[in-house]
């Protein structure tokens, strides 16, 4: 925080109980609290990172996953620089809901082109024994969704947590570079706007 670094807003999404808050706390303070509460409202933590020798402050936003609180959660999507879509490998439904989360995010963050937005997908609780979502299936989903990077994490034993969060920054840099190379990018906006204004979406 003390130095000069670029502020990145990162939104953590996923079903209730998949481990969003635990991942955030592991990443930011390297702690895992087995007695933690479920999230009510919105919380965020800042973390300074260095990616490719550039300094960033990641401002990580964590919300409650239940459908009921959607209207109080979605205003926080605006202005996000990247989004971590999270499920738990022992919770099939949470994996199936990834598409819903992505759609909700794109709609309320008002992002035209979902494929050039940096999503990273996290399969959490990799330490548990009764895994229900095969890694291949998750990877296939990512491939079909703009080739988002995929990480299997454990907030509990800290597997891959650091890498997953930092990869969000890398992904952002990557996609920004790509946009710089393609100056004609603006031409595609119209089309995407059309598809976005689909009224049924997430409404």
Which residues here bind ligand GTP, judged by CB under 6 A? 14, 16-22, 34, 36, 38-39, 64-65, 124-125, 127-128, 154-156
**Residue 123 contacts which entry, ligand GTP, Mg ion, other proteins, none (Cβ below 5-8 A, type-dependent):** none
Q: Are 112 and 193 in contact (CB under 8 A)?
A: yes
Among 5, 49, 51, 59, binds other proteins (CB under 8 A): 59
Residue 40 binding other proteins, by CB under 8 A: yes
How near is the Cβ of 118 to ligand GTP at its closest, in Å?
Answer: 20
- Long-range Cβ contact pairs of 149-154 (< 8 A, separation 24 or more): 149/120, 149/121, 150/120, 150/121, 150/122, 150/123, 151/120, 151/121, 151/122, 151/123, 152/89, 152/122, 152/123, 152/124, 152/126, 153/23, 153/122, 153/123, 153/124, 153/126, 154/124, 154/125, 154/126, 154/127
Q: Are 32 and 26 in contact (CB under 8 A)?
A: yes
- Sort 149 into a burial class: Cβ within 10 Å, 0-12 / 13-18 / 19+: middle
By beta-carbon proximity to other proteins, the closer residue of 97 and 167 is: 97
Among 6, 54, 55, 72, binds other proteins (CB under 8 A): 72
How near is the Cβ of 106 to Mg ion at its closest, in Å?
Answer: 22
**Could you tell me which of 39, 22, 202 has the C-alpha nearest to residue 125?**
22
**Residue 107 contacts which entry, other proteins, ligand GTP, Mg ion, none (Cβ below 5-8 A, type-dependent):** none
By beta-carbon proximity to Mg ion, the closer residue of 20 and 26 is: 20
Residue 21 binding Mg ion, by CB under 5 A: yes
Q: Which residues here bind Mg ion, judged by CB under 5 A?
A: 20-21, 39
Q: Which residues here bind other proteins, judged by CB under 8 A?
A: 1-2, 16-17, 29, 31-38, 40-44, 46, 59, 64, 66, 68-69, 71-72, 75, 93
């Amino acid at each position: 925080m003390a130095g000069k670094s670029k502020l990145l807003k990162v939104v953590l999404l996923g079903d209730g109980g998949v481990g969003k808050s635990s991942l955030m706390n592991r990443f930011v303070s390297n702690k895992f609290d087995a007695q933690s509460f479920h999230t009510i409202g919105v919380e965020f933590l800042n973390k300074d990172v260095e990616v490719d020798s550039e300094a960033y402050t990641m401002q990580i936003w964590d919300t409650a996953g239940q459908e009921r609180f959607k209207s109080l959660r979605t205003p926080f999507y605006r202005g996000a620089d990247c989004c971590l879509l999270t499920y738990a490998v022992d919770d099939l439904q949470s994996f199936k809901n990834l598409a819903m989360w992505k759609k909700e995010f794109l709609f309320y963050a008002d992002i035209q082109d979902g494929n050039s937005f940096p999503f990273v997908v996290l399969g959490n609780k990799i330490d548990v024994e009764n895994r229900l979502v095969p890694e291949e299936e998750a990877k296939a989903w990512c491939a079909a969704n703009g080739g988002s990077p995929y990480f299997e994490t454990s907030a509990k034993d800290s597997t891959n947590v650091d890498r997953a969060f930092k990869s969000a920054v890398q992904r952002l840099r990557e996609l920004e570079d790509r946009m710089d190379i393609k100056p004609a990018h603006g031409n595609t906006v119209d089309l995407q706007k059309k598809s976005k204004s689909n009224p049924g979406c997430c409404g």
